[in-house]
Structure 1
Amino acid sequence: MLASTSGVIVSLMSGIDVSILEYLSRCDQCRDYIARISRGVDEPYMTVTRSLNKLIELRVVRVDDESSNEYKYHYLTPFGLELATMITRSRICDE
């Protein structure tokens, strides 16, 4: 599960790109939502990946990068905050 200390994400589930969590932790609304999930206040039975997918509301444009076997995703949060286009493994969207 995700844990939040002083607004900083301190534990990760493997397969979730660290840069995404770092970016989300800078957004007060995102940070509060993640903290609520980690405390079991909202949707306690969702996995971390599903919780992040719900948070981000994956509206995904995938660009295959054949040389590295990675994909570029563009994320748009429900708060209208555009996350920078990031490189992440496809498994974040597997669930």
Structure 2
Amino acid sequence: MSNLDVSRKEDMSPRGQLNIFRSDDGDIHVTVYQDDGNGGVGAGSSVEFCSPLGGGGGKSPRTMKALIELARAIELDNAEAPERAGDL
């Protein structure tokens, strides 16, 4: 399974971002980074969904599918408007 790592800046602040990352074992990590109000990025909050393949024990197959589709949508949006692509 290929890696995936996409980020998109939010619409309401200059630095807030959403990141979706697929690790080598197929798990999907979703992280939200906040604008810190000082021109930087604040600490992010992250969740992980395990792949149903291998020994990951994934319990959210539809959520995994939706997150992969979201990542693809982010890639398309970034291609159309690269200035909104995340920079983390």
TM-score by length of 1: 0.28
Give the number of the structure whose residues are more often strand, by fraction. Answer: 2
- Larger Rg computed on CA atoms: 2
Give the number of the structure whose residues are more often helix, by fraction. Answer: 1
TM-score by length of 2: 0.30
